[in-house]
Amino acid sequence: MDGALSERSKPFQPLTLPSLVRKPGPSGLFDTVFEETEAGLLLLDIDLAQHRVRISDANRAICDWLGCPKTDLAGQDFVSLIDDQTMCSEIERLKKTLIRQSELCISGYLRHADGTRFSCSITCRPISTGTVGSAGPRLVAIIRRDDQQVDQALLKAQQDRDMALQARQRMLARISHDLRTPLNGILGFAEVMALSCNGGTACDPPHKDEEKGAGGRQIQMIQTYTDHIMNAGRELLARIEDLLAAAEEGAPVVRRSISQISPAQLISEKAMIYESRLIRADLRLDLNIEAALPALLADQGDCDQMIAAIFEHVLLSAPRHGTISISAHLDSHGQLVFGFYDDGPAISLKQVDAAIAKTAEDEDVYANPVARTVAGLPLAQSLALRNGGVMRIGDQAENAALTRPRAGRFSCELCFSADCLGG
């Protein structure tokens, strides 16, 4: 540091390290550790007669940092390596602390041979040779450059981040198993109950004559209950999927298989899958698919889940006895657009983000719930982004005015640029 050394000293019992002190003859363990460690190491001999602390040996790291060979450092006063801007009184205090053979930790600057300086931390600890006839008290100075400490801090931060990511992945896997698995079982059993009420098919409502009498009323009541179970369960499942999709953002990207997907086939197949549920919800489906649309270059599984999430959303939120309009077309910018429009209340993209707290909430979403659930939309948005697309909702949907039933109602478009399209 420029003006002062921050000092922390206390009496310290010298370490007896006979096996780690250099001795004549073949190199031992100490020689290997001394030379190869990344920290700078200096062996210091204390001259009690002249009150000087002289360098007796230096490792490779500190020689590189100071720009001096080991032979030039040997015999130098250790204090002379400290930058000249350090005040004389502080240097004297440092020397006295070393002469007292106390443990010392300082932060300061050392001077390079070319006149430049570098900041570092220095820890000095006394050692004892444990042998007869030793030259005198000896210290070991451990020097760490500040940039080295930053590297160590970055490495520690990366390790902490990796551990946090692993913990998050374990949590997501636990949520997926412990919540989605039993919920799928509940929904499956409710579907079986609905089928049994309708004579084995989910498409046909009870016959007129079955609605008469106590038996018909009981069947109708059971059917109503199963509808409630399935609607609530599917909304909960959609919200779990939304949260998992949001939590996976920033996680390591899993390698995906890109294939050419037919937009017409993608929409038509999903419409067939959801046909029975649309009939049960008394919703009419209006498909508008342009001919000869280019293929979408994306992951098949992601696209199936993305379109299914939008279907789930409109089934949960569209008003009964209404019409759901779905289109696949190219807009004026050459983008492939999957459009979903119905007569339900309009929502904004901000409300979609607020539903899973991806952005700061301006208001309490629980005290002021939106008129329309957003379940399914965050998942669809995440999957669209992962495959190069964007989501447009409400006024952002450029083609909504041409396709949706009435202005001011719900509109959602998944748009993919020409870069995402094949031949």
Contacts of 291 (CB under 8 A, 6+ apart): none
Give the mean pLDDT of 325-343: 91
Residue 423, classed as helix, strand or coil, is: coil
Give the mean pLDDT of 252-275: 84
Every domain of the chain and the residues it spans: 6-153, 258-420
Give the mean pLDDT of 231-257: 68
Instruction: Check pLDDT > 50 for residue 25.
Output: no
Give the C-alpha separation, 300 to 266, whole Å.
9
Give the C-alpha separation, 118 to 111, whole Å.
7
Highest averaged pLDDT of the listed ranges 14-18, 51-55, 93-97 = 51-55
pLDDT of residue 26: 40
- Positive or negative, the Cα torsion across 408, 409, 412, 413? negative
Give the mean pLDDT of 34-59: 83
Give the C-alpha separation, 241 to 355, whole Å.
12
The matching CATH number, chosen from 3.40.50.300, 3.10.20.30, 1.10.357.20, 3.30.450.20, for 6-153 is: 3.30.450.20
Tokens of 303: 């696209």
* φ/ψ (deg, to 5) at 71: -65, -35
* φ/ψ (deg, to 5) at 177: -80, -50
The Cα-based distances of 410 to 277, 343, 344, 353, 400 in angstroms read 20, 6, 6, 16, 9
pLDDT of residue 131: 43
Give the C-alpha separation, 13 to 326, whole Å.
81
The contacts found for 307-310 with CB under 8 angstroms, 24 or more apart, are: 307/266, 307/267, 307/270, 307/338, 307/380, 308/270, 308/273, 309/238, 309/241, 309/376, 309/377, 309/379, 309/380, 309/383, 310/338, 310/340, 310/376, 310/377, 310/380, 310/412, 310/414
The Cα-based distances of 256 to 179, 184, 233, 298, 301 in angstroms read 25, 26, 30, 9, 9
Q: Are 335 and 418 in contact (CB under 8 A)?
A: yes
For residue 147, the tally of other CB atoms under 10 A from its CB is: 11
Confidence at 329, pLDDT banded by 50, 70, 90 = very high
Tokens of 118: 């570098």
Give the C-alpha separation, 82 to 93, whole Å.
13
* Amino acid at position 53, single letter: V
- The residue with greater pLDDT, 153 or 230, is 230
The Cα-based distances of 239 to 233, 350, 395 in angstroms read 10, 16, 24
Give the C-alpha separation, 327 to 311, whole Å.
13
Q: What is the rounded average pLDDT for all residues in the chain?
A: 75
Tokens of 259: 């294939």
What DSSP string describes 373-418?
--TTHHHHHHHHHHTTEEEEEGGG-TTHHHHSSSTTEEEEEEEE-G
pLDDT of residue 22: 46
pLDDT per position as a tens digit, 266-314: 999 999 988 888 888 888 999 999 998 999 999 998 899 899 889 988 8
Confidence at 139, pLDDT banded by 50, 70, 90 = confident
- Indicate the DSSP class of residue 52: E
pLDDT of residue 265: 94
User: Which overall architecture, per CATH, does domain 258-420 show?
Assistant: 2-Layer Sandwich (3.30)
pLDDT per position as a tens digit, 356-414: 655 455 555 555 555 677 778 888 888 898 899 999 987 656 554 444 444 458 889 99
Tokens of 4: 């002062």
Q: Are 124 and 98 in contact (CB under 8 A)?
A: yes
Give the C-alpha separation, 405 to 114, whole Å.
79
